[in-house]
Amino acid sequence: MRGLEGKVAIVTAASSGIGKGIAKVLSSEGCIVHISSRDRAKLEKSAEEIRKETGKQVNAVPCDLTRPADVTRMLSEVKKKSGKVDFLVINFGDPKVAPFLEITDEDWDSSMNMFLKSSVTMIRSILPEMISNGDGRVVFVTSLTTKQALENFSISASLRAAVVSLSKVLSIEYAKNGITFNSISQGYIMTPRLESIARRNAEKMNISLDQAYDAIRQGIPARRFGKPEEIGHLVSFLCSSDASYINGANIQIDGGVVRFPL
C-alpha cells in the first residue's frame, strides 16, 4: 500500500487475535507499530513474534483500556518514543457476554471506559498533531453486532455502535484537515474470542466443540471463518494514501453474515 512506509501506528488490544493480525500487516507494510494490551508478558511475546516475522520495529506498551490513567500513560510513552502518531487503530477487548439482567453496573462502567472513554482520550491526544500535519488515519475495529443484534451481546451492540457513530461525526468535522475516520464491522474471525463463544455454545447445547464451530460456520455464506490478517489488510488499505477519499464509512468484512443491504 502507498503511504505506509515509516508511518507510526498504534494498535490497541493487540496481544492476540484481530489486533495482533492488524499489527502484523501494518508492520509488514513498513509502519513503526506500537501495540498495547493489559497482559504485559503476552504483549511482549507478540511484539517479538511480529518483529521476527517482519523485520520491523514493533514496540510493546502495556495498557488497560478500562483504566483512563493507563491510556494517558500509553500515549505519552508512544509520543516520547516515536514523536508522533500517524495511524490510530482502536481495537477493543472483549466485553461481558450475558443476559441483560446479569450485567452489573460495574460491567457497564468498565466497558464504557474501554469503548468510549478510551476512544475519546486517545483521539483528543493525537488529533491536534494530525490537524497540524494535515494528515492522519483513525480506524475503529468493532463487530457485526453494530449491524445485527445478537442475544446476550447488549454491551457489545450498544457501545460498539456508539463508537461507529462517533467515527461518523469526527469524519465530518475533520475531513477538511486531511484526516479520515472509518470503522470496521467484522464477522466471525478465528480468534480466542471465537473459541470462547464456541465453547459456551457447546456447553449450552450439549454438543462438541467441533459441532459448535460448525453451527456457527453454517450461518456464514462464505462457509469459513475469517483470518485476523484479513482484517489487517483492510485496515492497512484504509490507512494508505490509496484510501484518502474513504471517510466516515463503516465497512462490513464478514463473509456475508449480515444480510441487510444498508
Domain boundaries, the chain: 8-189+228-253, 190-225
CA 38 vs CA 30, 65, 123, 157: distances in Å? 25, 8, 20, 23
Q: What is the pTM of this model?
A: 0.95
Q: Report the pLDDT value the prediction gives residue 105, as an integer from 0 to 100.
A: 98
Nearest-CA neighbor of 8 among 93, 82, 112?
A: 82
**pLDDT by residue (tens digit) across 177-226?**
999 999 999 999 999 999 999 999 999 999 999 999 999 999 999 999 99
Q: What is the pLDDT of residues 68-97, one digit of tens each?
A: 999 999 999 999 999 999 999 999 999 999
Q: pLDDT category, 260, cuts 50, 70, 90?
A: confident
Q: Contact at 8 Å (CB) between 231 and 141?
A: yes
Domain 8-189+228-253: assigned CATH number: 3.40.50.720
